Amino acid sequence: MKKILLNIKNRIPPSLTIRQWLIISCLFSLTLLVARVIASGRLSYGFLAWNLFLAFVPYFISQWIERRQEILRSRIQLLPLVFIWILFMPNSFYILTDLFHLENMSNGHSWFDLTLILSFAWSGIIFGILSIRKMEILLKKAKGNLVSGFIICAVMWLNAFGVYIGRFLRFNSWDIIVNPFSLLAEIADMIFNPYDYRYAWVMSVCFAFFMIIIYYTMKKLSEVF
């Protein structure tokens, strides 16, 4: 009997890893996008593929650091990578705001467009959560709980602030290099005239708390199963 049960267990295919599920999720999103382009003959949502790539960048950086942990002992190498990681991190959650585009679509297929955007947003959020968790673990090893905890909290707020800058001020991550003066001028105006930008600050705080809830809820889910 034990041999029969062992044989049955050995024949059961192993469960998919989180990376494999991520690949499936991304392929599903891209398939929906291709189907919509073919059906409509337009690239209305082509930007979603680019946004998903940008969401992948911080995940790739965290994976890179994990595979080369000697970087953690070199401040010269670590600080630029963490800076780039923080710079691109808001892109992982930015896709969720692409739901705003639904109000401009009146082709009778809003259910499909909703599924399309949510599938991309889901993949982007998962990239972000995994990346933040990876960096939290790595920074905890290198700098301790206090530093890693402070950085993660700061990253969550910067994510929300970055989402506002990208969605409403229409800046991109690379504008800090190609258009730094305009970007810094806008940020400085927000800092020195907070009342004029009260909507921006309220939105940033709300979205930051929302992302914190998502992040820590996903962390705790691993304890349930």
Short-list 164, 148, 155, CA closest to 202: 164
CA 167 to chain centre: 15
- How does residue 218 score in pLDDT terms, banded at 50, 70 and 90? confident
| DSSP 8-state class, residue 106 | -
pLDDT (tens digit per residue) in 86-115:
889 999 999 999 888 877 665 557 888 899
Mean pLDDT, to the nearest integer, of 177-181? 86
Is residue 1 over pLDDT 60?
no
pLDDT (tens digit per residue) in 118-127:
999 999 999 9
Mean pLDDT, to the nearest integer, of 114-140? 91
Look over the chain and give the mean of its residue pLDDT values, rounded to a whole number.
85
pLDDT at 69: 77
pLDDT at 67: 85
How far is it, in rounded angstroms, from Cα 151 to Cα 160?
14
DSSP string, 140-202: HHHH-HHHHHHHHHHHHHHHHHHHHHHHTS---TTHHHHSHHHHHHHHHHHHH-TTTTHHHHH
pLDDT more than 70, % of the chain: 90
Q: Say if CB 120 and CB 22 are below 8 A apart.
A: no
pTM: 0.84
Expressed in angstroms, the distance from the first to the final Cα of the chain is: 28
